[in-house]
Structure 1
Amino acid sequence: MGEQNGRRIIGGRTFDFSRQVAVMAIVNRTPDSFHDRGSTFALEKALDAVSAAVDAGADWIDVGGVPFAPGPEVSAAEELDRVLPVVTAAKQHAVVSVDTFRPEVAREVIRAGAGVINDTSGLRDPAMADAVAGTDAQLVITHSLAPPRTPWPRPQYDDVTAEVAGFLRARVEVALSRGVRPEQLIIDPGHDLNKNTYQSLEVTRRLDEIAAVGYPMLAAVSNKDFIGETLNAAQHDRLAGTIATVVYCVLHGARIVRVHDVRAVVDAVRMTEAILGWREPVYTRHNIE
């Protein structure tokens, strides 16, 4: 069992995951992103999105320069050109994570002030662990069957939740063996990444089993296809389903949630924290005055 939920310093900020949930806003500098469809590809638009997310209560900004889904090749140099200006601008206002699977990109963005490397490849290149070892950065290890940018039609599992948990345990061991400290690790079951809707629903339903791997857990569920297919909801009509999924994930162990609609999810998460007794109301007047 690895590092349990507890106090961590991430990007110079303290989080107590025993009683706190971090809300991670998504800012993609890509022309072909899954949800934004390039709306924050232009640098000025990306920086505006950072400011809006911080104003809406985001704790983290997750910056991406290359989508997970298949698409045109993006070189490491181009990826860095996309993400570094956002890292530099955002690090003064929030924790900055960079969604990348390239160790050379990870090294550069950590030097620039990124507090988290969000590796959607699940350490397929073990050199990613080397890039994070010896730094103060956190490393998110995400489950998928295929490398990023690679099609994987009709994914099959005998027991999807057990297999996701087993994969994460194995990749955690790789990270530890290469010098990453337990208190640097975060896990992500990878909702919808090489998973169909039934599989993503089952992983969510049994999320306690993923949390039992023993590290703070990230749930990246915002507006995903398993929500859309479950509700017959178009891409931009999935907020209610997203909020329901986020709250369920928090109640079953998620301590970081990655979202597009920051203000609404911040309210849902803070209300959940208050119901759990983790957070005081901002003010109390009803039946008191």
Structure 2
Amino acid sequence: MSFQIMGVVNVTPDSFSDGGAFDDAAQAVDHGRRLAAEGAVILDVGGESTRPGAAPVPAEEELERVVGVVRGLAGTARVSIDTMKLVVAEAAVDAGASYVNDVTAFRHDPELAAFVADKDLDCCLMHMLGEPRTMQRDPRYTDVVSDVKAFLTERMAAATRAGVKEERIQLDPGIGFGKTIEHNLELLRRLQELADLGRPLVIGTSRKSFLGKITGRDVTERVPATIATCVMAYERGASVFRVHDVAAVADALKVADATVAGWPMTSPRTTTTT
């Protein structure tokens, strides 16, 4: 298959979708193992909510939340640490993580890039306008796709200057992170322009509020909408999907993968010849 599922393992009391559901380490580990059994090849462990309006979490508290969970999941699947802090990434890697998912794209803690380079880790660099507390306050762009593309290009260059190998970098347009509904939909429509950067694209639309605003559904009822965005994103070049509902999305992408593979030179994934 030409896609990967990243299962969300939130160890926070205030995440927008499942805050508090798995804030006990044993429950979080059991949840992560279930996600792996459903098809997640990466488990993304996060101890600091990045929902709109979220307050920062002290490093000591974040460490207490995530290290035991990372250790408990190491060996179950590949473990990613969702953090912007160097000290948390260091402890998580010591506990078994091999991937760093930084929503600030190494802007919050620039030394994190050198650490990723030194340990030869994979990483995800995401676009976010401002910070979680302020990102949804009247976000504006000249052209959201062009602006996000320029940002990701610059952050990828900064990472490689710090020694991160380009083949270790994945990119995330940051759906819902400082974007209106219209911005999110435009990014999904024109995702191929970001795929043209040549790095795997990570898409995180799972259960997000813009899907609720479109469908009128509660956060627990947004699986079909999530699936729709993942399938469209896959057709437009995305390859890593960060989701809560692993089994449902994995099944949909398997069907999409089998279908796209048979398309006659009309898909962005098909190399055309003349």
1:181 equivalenced with 2:165 (yes/no): yes
Structure 1 gap segments, 5+ residues each = 1-18, 279-289
TM-score (norm 2): 0.91
- Alignment length, in residue pairs? 260
Question: Are 1:126 and 1:174, in contact at CA under 8 Å, matched by a contact in 2?
Answer: no
Where do 1:167-246 residues align within 5 Å?
167-246=151-230
CA distance, structure 2, for counterparts of residue 87 and residue 157 of structure 1: 37
1:249 equivalenced with 2:233 (yes/no): yes
Shift of 1:276: 2.6
Question: Are 2:79 and 2:97, in contact at CA under 8 Å, matched by a contact in 1?
Answer: yes
Q: Percent identity?
A: 38
Q: Which residue of 1 aligns with 2:58?
A: 75
Question: Are 1:121 and 1:148, in contact at CA under 8 Å, matched by a contact in 2?
Answer: no
Deviation string, structure 1 residues 39-67 (Cα, Å, up to 9, x no partner)? 01111210120121112121111100001
1:143 equivalenced with 2:141 (yes/no): no
For 1:56, the aligned partner's letter is E
Shift of 1:277: 3.0
1:50 equivalenced with 2:32 (yes/no): yes
Shift of 1:72: 4.2
Shift of 1:150: 4.0
For 1:32, the aligned partner's letter is D
Deviation string, structure 1 residues 159-212 (Cα, Å, up to 9, x no partner)? 000000000000001001110111110000000000011100001100001111
Q: Which of 22, 26, 43 is 2:8 aligned to?
A: 26
Question: Are 1:67 and 1:149, in contact at CA under 8 Å, matched by a contact in 2?
Answer: no
TM-score (norm 1): 0.86
Where is the helix percentage greater, Structure 1 or Structure 2? Answer: 2
Quick one: structure 1 residues 32 and 120, their matched pair in 2 at CA, closer, same or farther if it must change by over 3 Å?
A: same
CA distance, structure 2, for counterparts of residue 231 and residue 101 of structure 1: 32
RMSD: 1.4
CA distance, structure 2, for counterparts of residue 178 and residue 129 of structure 1: 6
Shift of 1:254: 0.8
Moved more, 109-118 or 258-267: 109-118
Structure 2 gap segments, 5+ residues each = 263-274
CA distance, structure 2, for counterparts of residue 152 and residue 264 of structure 1: 29
